[in-house]
Structure 1
Amino acid sequence: MLCVVAFVVVLVLSAVSARYRRLLGRAWGCAWRKVTFRACDTTFRDDVKSSLLAPLAVRAPRLVTPASIAIEVTAWLMVLSLVVSLFILGRSGLNLFVYGTCDKQDAQSCSLAAEMCSIDAGPIGFWESIGQGDVVGAFGNEFASLGETFAAVPSRLRDWDAADYAAADATYLGGYTSGLPTALEIIDPGCRFCAQLFRNMREGGFDRTHNVTYLVYPIVTDDGPRFANSPLVASYLTAIRAYDDAAGGPASGADWAILETLFTQQNADGLDWQIWLNTASATEARAQLHAWLGEAGYGPGQVAEIAALAGSSETARTLAETRAVVEEEIRTLAIPSLIAGGRLRSGLVDADTLRGID
């Protein structure tokens, strides 16, 4: 492996100094034979080792043999490190292209990704598995994850149509306007980046140029919901749509009114409603949702019916179907995600970008 390391070093040095370029051909010839599992048929490897060991041979001849072994071991470690680094770089770049993040296990930890709340991507990472002593599982999970990423590449290159993923009883921000393109956002009511995306849409006028609808997706980790009351809010948003749809009349827009309040307004104490909701008890959160339904024009009996529907198996089934769409069809790792203009955009989209989406 010494000639492989030497080639990399010579390649770097030759980029900054012409004096090393005459060695580049010899270094490459030896390195290429080595990586293709053939013996190096030049003296380049011996020349490199001799130049490293010559000073030691003069001062301490007995140390030449162990030093020679140490050089070979170091060369192997450097080549292994190079291969691993190139693999990580390639994998991260592919993940960034496919999912909008270089780290599938923790999407928001990737500094190159947009601002987002990450979805749990399944098995633990490579080094966590190594730390637990599961070497076989570490490599198995790594290659399985890479295979999933490769399999998702074609879907990211195709033209995305938001209408394909809209709910059957979808409602639209500000109401549906014939002739405008459809845009679909995937949101968690507790994620602060979803709130910012909503504000960016208002600022950029995106809701006036697109029929904006949503899929509600409460993020769930191994420890439970990422935001404690998001499943409760999701069940009420889903129940409102189903209740209005069953009534046979136009959608009330109460689900969007609740989202707008959550994402843009503050309570009497000056605290953002979203922050309050993420720390409130389930009883407090449910009472506040009932109050917002009353403000939207629903009577006490209607509120009770919506509450019962929110806790029903029908709503649970609808939420499970929505989760399957997000995880198995759209396959995003970022909340929020936005399908608009023929593309899937992962993470927060700024107002200027929204203005430029057709």
Structure 2
Amino acid sequence: MVCIVAFFVVLVLSAVSAKYRKLLGRAWGCFARRVTFRACDTTFREDIKSSILAPLALRAPRLVKPASIAIEVVAWLMVISLIVSLYLLGRSGLNLFVYGTCDKQDSQSCALAAEACSIGTATPGFWESIGKGDVFGAFGNEFSSVGETIAAVPSRLKTWDAEVYTPKDATYLGGYREGLPAALEVLDPGCRFCAELFRNIEESGFAQRNNLAYVAYPISSDLGSKFPNSPLVASYLAAVQAYEADHGDLAGETGDWFILEQLFTGENAAGTGWQEWMNEADADDARAQLQAWLGEFGYSEDAVAQIDQLAGSGRIADVLARNRTVVEDDIRTVSIPTLIGGGRLLSGLQSVETLQGLGN
């Protein structure tokens, strides 16, 4: 291990001082032999150790042997640290390419990723498993996670077609218009970055150049929903789509987009954003507000009652379950919002400039 550490030290030193460059060839030869599991150049190895131990040999000869052992131990630790660091760097880079974030477990912890609400994964992280004493599970889950990321690489290189992932009863912002390309957003009604993306979409004119649909995906974990009322809002959105499908009105402007418009851009009388209010409201108040928005859009009391009944039905539960399958198994995103448009898959919040250039 001393040869391996010495190679990297000499490599750095030779970059700043010519006097070390004559050692670089010997250091490389020893390094190449060690990494290919062959015996190192013993002379070079001993020369390195001797140069380190020589001052100690003059002052305390009895400490030379323990110091020699310590050098080997430190060298092993440095090499292991280097290997682990390179692995973590490679894994993070791969995750960033595939998922748009260097950390699948928590996309918000990655400074290089776009701003987003993290979906995370059901599989415990490496250190979480270690903390529970599950060493084999920690390594097994780690390598399985990397394998899944590698398997997903081809899907990130393809041209993405939003229509493939668009739900059957999808509605479109501003209504469907013939001849425009399809775009699809995966959103959680409670995620503030979805609200920011919605505003950027409106400002950029993206929805005027594309038939923009959405998949409502309430982020959840073993502890429940990340945003308490997101499942309720998602069920109302799906219920409006089902109601409009039953009445043959999916092509025009629909109440589900009106709800999203209010939620993502509106404020209540107290000046609190509706999304912030919805994330803190109790279920009864949230339901009453959703019904009020449907009334404002123009639905009759009877229609609102039918939509409310649909929202709690097995039909809508099945729709939301299919949406979850599409997001987790087909799109395989770990960040909300995620946007498919212009043949690309974009994770996290996108700027107005990015949206203006998408598909152009």
Q: TM-score range by the shorter chain?
A: over 0.9
Q: Distance in 1 between matches of 2:305 and 2:41?
A: 85
The equivalent residue for 2:161 is: 161
What is the RMSD computed on CA atoms of the aligned residues? Answer: 0.9
Q: Distance in 2 between matches of 1:248 and 1:196?
A: 31
The equivalent residue for 2:46 is: 46
Q: Distance in 1 between matches of 2:243 and 2:284?
A: 22
Which runs of at least 4 in structure 1 moved beyond 3 Å after TM superposition? 249-252
The equivalent residue for 1:188 is: 188
Deviations 1:227-273 (A, max 9, x none): 00000000000000001101123445100000000000100000000
Query: Is it true that 1:11 corresponds to 2:22 in the alignment?
Result: no
Q: Distance in 1 between matches of 2:205 and 2:308?
A: 33
Q: Report the 3-state secondary structure (helix = DSSP H, G, I; strand = E; otherwise coil) of the residue aligned with 1:179.
A: coil
Deviations 1:95-148 (A, max 9, x none): 000000000100111000000001022212112222222211111010000000
Query: Is it true that 1:320 corresponds to 2:326 in the alignment?
Result: no
Q: Distance in 1 between matches of 2:15 and 2:315?
A: 66
CA drift at 1:22? 1.1
Count of residue pairs brought into register by the alignment: 358
Written as runs of structure 1 = structure 2, the 5 A alignment for 1:220-259 is 220-250=220-250, 251-259=252-260
Q: Report the 3-state secondary structure (helix = DSSP H, G, I; strand = E; otherwise coil) of the residue aligned with 2:159.
A: coil
Deviations 1:260-294 (A, max 9, x none): 00000100000000000000000000000011111
Q: TM-score, normalised by structure 1?
A: 0.98
**Counterpart contact for 1:185–1:212, Cα < 8 Å:** yes
The equivalent residue for 2:331 is: 330
Structure 2 gap ranges (5+): none
**Counterpart contact for 1:120–1:220, Cα < 8 Å:** no
Q: Report the 3-state secondary structure (helix = DSSP H, G, I; strand = E; otherwise coil) of the residue aligned with 1:133.
A: coil
Q: Which moved more, 1:228-237 or 1:292-301?
A: 292-301
Which amino acid in the other structure matches residue 241 of structure 1? Q
Written as runs of structure 1 = structure 2, the 5 A alignment for 1:63-78 is 63-78=63-78
CA drift at 1:12? 1.3
CA drift at 1:31? 1.3
Q: TM-score, normalised by structure 2?
A: 0.98
Deviations 1:62-120 (A, max 9, x none): 11111000000000000000000000000000000000000010011100000000102
Deviations 1:193-245 (A, max 9, x none): 00000000111111111111100000002210000000000000000000110
Q: Distance in 2 between matches of 1:121 and 1:18?
A: 51
The equivalent residue for 1:348 is: 349
Which amino acid in the other structure matches residue 214 of structure 2? Y
The equivalent residue for 2:284 is: 283
The equivalent residue for 2:33 is: 33
**Counterpart contact for 2:197–2:350, Cα < 8 Å:** yes
**Counterpart contact for 1:183–1:340, Cα < 8 Å:** yes
The equivalent residue for 2:294 is: 293
The equivalent residue for 1:149 is: 149
CA drift at 1:19? 1.7
**Counterpart contact for 2:122–2:221, Cα < 8 Å:** no
Q: Distance in 2 between matches of 1:334 and 1:267?
A: 28
Query: Once the two structures are aligned, what percentage of the paired residues are identical?
Result: 67
